[in-house]
Structures are given as C-alpha cells and as structure tokens.
Amino acid sequence: MNRLTELLFFTLYGLSALVAGLALVRFAGIAPATAGLFGALGFLAVLQIHAVLARTGKQAQLEKSVRTLRQANLALSSEMAAIHEDLEALSRAVEAEAVRRDEVIISEVQALEDTIRKMQSSLSSRIAEAARAAVMPVLDESETSDRHVLLTLVREALEAGRVDLHLQPIVSLPQRKTYFYESFTRLRDADGHIIMPAEFIKVAESAGLMTMVDNMLLFRCVQIVRQLTEKDRQIGIVCNISPLSLKDETFFPQFLDFMRRNADLSGSVVFEIGQRAFQERGIVEARNMARLADFGYRFSIDKVESLDFDVLDMQRAGVRFFKAAGDVLLDGLKAGPEAPLPAAPDILMSDISRYLARHGIDLIGEKIEDEATLVEVLDLDASYGQGHLFGAPRPIREEYLAESGNVFKLAV
C-alpha cells in the first residue's frame, strides 16, 4: 500500500470520527467535549485495526514471496543437478571419444607401419635386382660406374627412409591466401646432401624403383595430413601420383586399402597426375583412379603442354583442378583474348576459367615467378596461383608442426 492510499484512509477515518462526534452531540445530547473524546478514541481504534490488518496482509504477502522463492530455488537446484549430470555424461563421452580416437590413430599408425614394412620387404629384393642390373656391362664403362653409385645412393636413402617432403604453397587469387601445399620428393644421402629428382628419377625409373619413391611420398603425405587434421587445420596437400604407381600390382592395392580406411581425409588430399599421363592412361590406371574418386578423393592435372583437353573426360575422372603454367596460358592469349580455346572452339580463350568452372574444375596458374605474369593470369580469372612469387618448395619436419602462426612451419 503506497503513501497516497494510506493518506486517503487516514482522511476517511478522521472524517468518520468527526461525523460520529457531531451525531452524538446532535442526537444523543452529549456534550461536545465528551463527543470529541469518543470520536478521537474511535479514530485511534480504527487506526490500530487498520495497522494490524496491514501488517497481516504484508506478512501474508511476504510469506507468499518466500514460498515462491523457495520453490524457485528448489527448481533451480533441480536444474543445476540435471546440468551437472549432463556435464558429467558429456565429460565421460568426450573422454571415451578421446580414447577411441587415440586407439584409431594408434591403429592407423600401426597399419601404416605394417604397410611400409611390407613395402620395404619387397623393396629390398627389387633394389637388389636393380643393383645387379646396374653393374651389367654397357657401352660406356664410366656411365655404368656413375649409374651404380647413384643407384646405391638411392637404395640406401630408400632403405633408411631418408625421403623428405618439400612443400610449395598454392594460394587463392587475388587474395593470396594459402589453401593447398604441393608436395615434392627429395632423397638424402648418408651425409644429409639432397639428391634432386633430376638426378635420381632417371636411374630410379630404369631400375624399377620409381614406384617405391612415389609410394613413400604418398604415405608421407597421408601422415602429414593426418597430423594437420588432428590439429583442426583446414589445409590441403596436393600429392603427385604416377601411372607406374596407379598400375603397380604390388603396392597400389595396399595403398588403396589404406586410403579407403582414411576416407575422412578425402577433403584434404588431392592426387596430381600429368596431362600426358592422364590422357594416355590405361584401363588399370583409370579403374584405380575411379576407386580413389569413389572414396571422395580429388585429382589435379599438371604438366599441361596443351590447352586442347577433354573437359568431360576430366570431369568424369574426378578431376577438380587444372594446373597450367603461366607461359602456357600466355601463349594461348598471344592471338588475343578473343581467340578460341583449342579445347572448345566456341569458347574464348579469355573464358577458360569459367569454362572449366562450369564443369566443376578450378584453374590453377603455376610457375608464376613475377608480378607481370600474375597480372596476366588474374585477367583469366584463375582461382589459384603457384610459383616462386608466392613461395618456393621448402622441407617440412614433424618437429616444426606448431599450434600458432602459420599452418605449420617449414624448415629453413
């Protein structure tokens, strides 16, 4: 009850007492002083009754508020207990999931180690055969000696696992934000010197060892991607795969099974194959590419020599990236932006990126070494760019994987 209401009641009680006093004087013949005294006493009595009733009402209202608060407190306590139980259940679920993921990772690592051991067992015999072939008489005795030495270095590097992964960024255009890294293989001798691909590929191919190099690179890519995804890093690795690996009956089935069991990495691994190798692929290679595509893995075409390509064939094969060197793209523009695209005479050369995009394929301009080339590539609306302008290939080491800064640090 507010003050205004109380004032009104006080006024009403006073007027009532005054009226009662006047009535006693007029009708009962009581003296005015005595009537005034009775009126005052009546006024005080009414005020006391009013005060008692007001206190009673306030107390009842207070008790009601206390009961309401007690009920709300009980309800809140029940909700807090339920939340606590839910948090405990969630904690147990998270702990169980962490244990399960650890078990899965350990299982995957063990499977990878088993696969590599199987590879190394076959690798030793095939390297031994290649070494014997290397010392067979040829026309040039000095060439035989050099070949034998280089093959020995390759054999020792493979057997010791000295296969390094060098990564080069692939950036979005025009933002230049890194979305992928392309992987390259480098071998190291016992002294830590790098054996470049130009040195070891020729002897490795002639000795039948290139498949081993490719497969070790593929497995290494999977290891790196697995570590990156475990760190919640959204980054892709482009991994070269040769037709020799695609049709190798010893190694590829094992690798295919491993990739099937790691299909959760399909969004982070892109397999790259040369344009000529893709166009000349046989039934076995095409079937194995289709199997990888069925698991969700994507492909990229590189080593582009001509812009005369079959976009529908690439689309059916799961190709999602078309990587052309800057000079190849510029050669196509020499006749002018209005020149027809060799792959589709009704499409302008300047529309190559949009033409590929309509079939779900992104254009990557590679070997971009300077800003002038980049400007020309940007005029073609290429989705991505690669080249020394954005970063040279650099080696990666597991110990340089970090939580902060870039996605990971490359060894200097």
More confident residue, 294 or 80: 294
What is the model's pLDDT at position 412? Answer: 34
Q: Nearest 5 degrees, angle CA 276-CA 277-CA 282?
A: 125
More confident residue, 7 or 361: 361
Question: pLDDT at residue 292 above 90?
Answer: yes
Rg (CA), the chain: 42
Question: pLDDT at residue 293 above 90?
Answer: yes
**CA-to-CA distance for 297 and 288, rounded, in angstroms?**
12
What is the model's pLDDT at position 109? Answer: 54
More confident residue, 73 or 15: 73
Of the pLDDT bands very low, low, confident and very high (cuts 50, 70, 90), residue 264 is: confident
Question: pLDDT at residue 116 above 70?
Answer: no
pLDDT digits (tens, 9 = 90+) for 120-172: 555 555 555 544 444 444 434 445 566 777 777 877 877 777 778 888 999 99
List CB contacts of 138: < 8 A, sequence separation 6 or more: 144
pLDDT digits (tens, 9 = 90+) for 301-325: 999 998 989 999 999 999 999 999 9
What is the model's pLDDT at position 28? Answer: 65
What is the model's pLDDT at position 320? Answer: 96
pTM of the model: 0.64
**Which helix (H) or strand (E) element contains residue 321?**
strand 319-325
DSSP structure string for 209-249 = -HHHHHHHHHHHHHHHHHHHHHTT---EEEEE--HHHHT-T
Q: Long-range pairs for 346-351 at CB < 8 Å and ≥24 separation?
A: 349/307, 350/379, 350/380
**CA-to-CA distance for 301 and 272, rounded, in angstroms?**
6
Of the pLDDT bands very low, low, confident and very high (cuts 50, 70, 90), residue 411 is: very low
3-state SS assignment for residue 384: strand
pLDDT digits (tens, 9 = 90+) for 179-200: 899 988 888 888 888 877 777 7
What is the model's pLDDT at position 168? Answer: 92
Handedness of CA 217, 218, 219, 224 (dihedral sign): positive
What is the model's pLDDT at position 362? Answer: 96
For 395-407, give one letter per residue: b (16+ CB within 10 A) or e.
Answer: bbeeeebeeeeeb
**Where are any strands of DSSP class E within 110-216?**
163-172, 178-188, 194-195
> What distance, in Å, lies between the first and last C-alpha atoms of the chain?
81
Across the strands, what pairs with 167? 183, 394
CB atoms under 10 Å from CB of 155, counted, come to 22
Mean pLDDT of 382-388: 94
**CA-to-CA distance for 114 and 127, rounded, in angstroms?**
19
Q: What is the mean pLDDT of the chain?
A: 77
Q: Which of 124-128, 181-185, 256-260, 265-269 has the lowest mean pLDDT?
A: 124-128
More confident residue, 407 or 28: 28
